Amino acid sequence: MNGRQTLNYYSYVLGVTILLIIVALALGPLAPIDEPTQFPQYDLEVPVSLSFSGFILLMLFIISTVIFWGSKNLLLNTIIDSSALSFIIINYINFYVVYSIWKPTMYLLPFFIYIKYGNTPPELVFDFGQVALIIFFYRLYRKIRPTKNEQIK
């Protein structure tokens, strides 16, 4: 792909990413929650709906990556990249919302996030967002690097 084709492709990816985020956020309130009985002092609707939206986007990313990896079809590659980007955005917005509500100690580690809430034992949470980010940047690198024919010229 030359520079102009790559720019056009990633403009489509950004458009589909915005569309996927809107659709996933619209599906977020469908997450089952019984917050008044569990945590009456917090409104958990926002973090739970963001987690559910992120889960939907993660499943779309995993399924589209497994099924369509290596395809030469522009639409299928756009779905893979835009689902990765939309999941990354929703994933880190969700971590920010969790941080802003409960104020835990959070450290970003390779492939994990270390979270400690007050006096409770710490948690080491696997971060699928970093995996999706690595795959997204790998695919971006493959698209923008010059081919062997272009290097010879």
Give the pLDDT band (50/70/90) at residue 114: very high
pLDDT tens readout for residues 77-110:
999 999 999 999 999 999 999 899 888 999 999 9
More confident residue, 5 or 127: 127
| Neighbouring C-beta atoms of residue 112, cutoff 10 Å | 14
Task: Kindly tell me if the per-residue pLDDT of 46 is higher than 60.
Answer: yes
pLDDT given at position 150: 61
User: Phi/psi zone of residue 26: left (φ > 0), alpha (ψ -120 to 50 degrees), beta?
Assistant: alpha
Q: Which of 134, 25, 46, 138 is nearest to 88 (CA)?
A: 134
Q: Which helix (H) or strand (E) holds 131?
A: helix 128-144
More confident residue, 35 or 140: 140
pLDDT given at position 81: 95
Query: Strands (DSSP E) along 46-139, which ranges?
Result: 105-109, 112-116, 123-126
Task: Kindly tell me if the per-residue pLDDT of 116 is higher than 60.
Answer: yes
pLDDT given at position 113: 94
More confident residue, 30 or 14: 14
Are the CB atoms for 145 and 137 separated by under 8 Å?
no
Whole-prediction pTM:
0.86
How far apart are alpha carbons 150 and 109 in whole angstroms?
38
Residue 41's Cβ-side half-sphere holds a number of Cα atoms within 13 Å equal to 2
Strand order in the sheet with 112-116: 105-109, 112-116, 123-126
More confident residue, 151 or 62: 62
Task: Kindly tell me if the per-residue pLDDT of 130 is higher than 70.
Answer: yes
Overall average pLDDT of the 33-51 stretch: 71
pLDDT given at position 129: 94
